[in-house]
Amino acid sequence: MNTTIFEAKGLTKRYGSSLALQDINMTIDPGDIYGFVGENGAGKTTLMKVIGGLVHPTDGKISLFGKSDKKDLNYARRQVGFLIEMPALYPHLNAEENLIFYCRTYGIKDDHRIRIADVLQAVSLSDSGSKKTSDYSLGMRQRLGLAIALLNNPKFLVLDEPINGLDPSGIVEVRKILEHLVKERGVTILISSHILNELQLLATKFGFIHHGRLIKEISAAELLKSAETRICIQTPNPALAAQILKYELQLESIVITEAGEIQIPKENTDLEKLMSILLQKGIQMEGINVSTPNLENYYMDLIGGANS
């Protein structure tokens, strides 16, 4: 029987009167790529710092590889690689020299050259090891940060926004690296990202956190089965258009995304009638299309329900 990689039970973190985490119960199993979804300040980074021992919980407990005692947890953390913030790099040193520094910091006793060559190859930086990190692109710095996280040959990777700010090619490169680590090295991953369409391509399981509460866990397969096909409308005045449709068609499940797009479940919605009503009311439409089920729609529905 495989041991659970990470488990939280009743995990709570309070800063004064503010609750950063509220009674979190979650499980990450071997082989999972666990996509952690939530807006800024929802509690994602706080939970990751609890895993790393950088933040101590107010209540509840966590376990890593089945170990929950303080001494055992500290030992178990040696099997975890972390990339929680932008990697701290010495710009006047090249990648290999930065990695040597971290090998010494982590107390790695193996031949540093072999370990460094291995992690540089794993993140596709073998040809850039002698290049000063001041000359690295953002994507290369992120991959070097991932290489640092791999130095201790971890079984579990905790990654906070590893693709944030990357261009499309950099995002694809990181995704391929992570998929390879899971497939070839048996690594389990907890990853957060605001780029939900990319996270949907990568993750096998999702956890949704909102105002410090884990409001839902769902597998990728369950997500596809439960998510709805939607009518998406682009208009200069989405709030007014949504109000009209809600009244005229008696629609309850209308969502306005952060980008200002109106989204309505397609099932039982008469598209022709919908368009006719908007035209009659003088609502200008810049675009209208039907979207397939996706993580962003599911998330917006969840937090809409959590806020109501």
pLDDT tens digit sequence for 277-302:
999 999 999 999 887 767 887 888 78
E strands present in 169-225:
188-192, 205-210, 213-219
* Residue 166 to residue 158: CA distance in whole angstroms: 18
Angle between helices 112-122 and 138-150 (to 10 degrees): 130
Provide the edge-to-edge strand list for the sheet that holds 188-192: 80-83, 156-160, 188-192, 33-37, 205-210, 213-219
Residue 192 in this model has a pLDDT that exceeds 70: yes
Residue with tokens 């807006």: 39
CATH 3.30.70.100 domain locations along the chain: 228-291
Nearest to 193 by CA among 213, 164, 228, 172: 164
User: Average pLDDT, stretch 194-201?
Assistant: 90
CATH 3.40.50.300 domain locations along the chain: 6-217
Give me the pLDDT at residue 61, please: 95
Task: Assess contact for 60 and 23: CB atoms under 8 A.
Answer: yes
Residue 8 in this model has a pLDDT that exceeds 90: yes
Contacts 24+ apart (CB under 8 A), 109-118: 115/151, 115/153, 116/151
User: Average pLDDT, stretch 16-22?
Assistant: 94
Per-residue pLDDT band at 224 (split at 50, 70, 90)? confident
* Residue 43 to residue 56: CA distance in whole angstroms: 14
Give me the pLDDT at residue 306, please: 54
45-49, 153-157, 218-222: lowest mean pLDDT where? 218-222
User: Average pLDDT, stretch 113-117?
Assistant: 92
Residue 178 in this model has a pLDDT that exceeds 70: yes
Give me the pLDDT at residue 234, please: 94
Q: How far is CA 104 from CA 109, 171, 180, in A?
A: 8, 30, 27
User: Average pLDDT, stretch 121-130?
Assistant: 92
* Residue 24 to residue 206: CA distance in whole angstroms: 14
In single-letter form, the type of residue at position 138 comes to: L
Residue 94 in this model has a pLDDT that exceeds 50: yes
Residue 180 in this model has a pLDDT that exceeds 80: yes
Give me the pLDDT at residue 227, please: 66
Per-residue pLDDT band at 303 (split at 50, 70, 90)? confident
162-171, 219-228, 281-290: lowest mean pLDDT where? 219-228
Give me the pLDDT at residue 109, please: 80
Residue 56 in this model has a pLDDT that exceeds 90: yes
pTM greater than the 0.85 cutoff: no
Per-residue pLDDT band at 166 (split at 50, 70, 90)? confident
pLDDT, tens only, 135-146: 999 999 999 999
User: Average pLDDT, stretch 224-252?
Assistant: 87
Pairing relationship of beta strands 230-234 and 287-291 according to DSSP bridges: antiparallel
- Does CATH place domain 228-291 in 3.40.50.970? no
Give me the pLDDT at residue 308, please: 44
Give me the pLDDT at residue 300, please: 83
Give me the pLDDT at residue 66, please: 94
Residue 238: alpha-carbon gap to chain centroid: 28
Task: Assess contact for 3 and 155: CB atoms under 8 A.
Answer: no
Q: Coil, strand, or helix at residue 26?
A: strand
User: Average pLDDT, stretch 32-55?
Assistant: 95
Name the class of domain 6-217. Answer: alpha beta
Give me the pLDDT at residue 305, please: 52
Q: List all residues 6 or more positions away from 158 whose beta carbon is below 8 Å from its beta carbon.
A: 48, 51, 52, 80, 81, 82, 83, 84, 189, 190
Give me the pLDDT at residue 307, please: 53
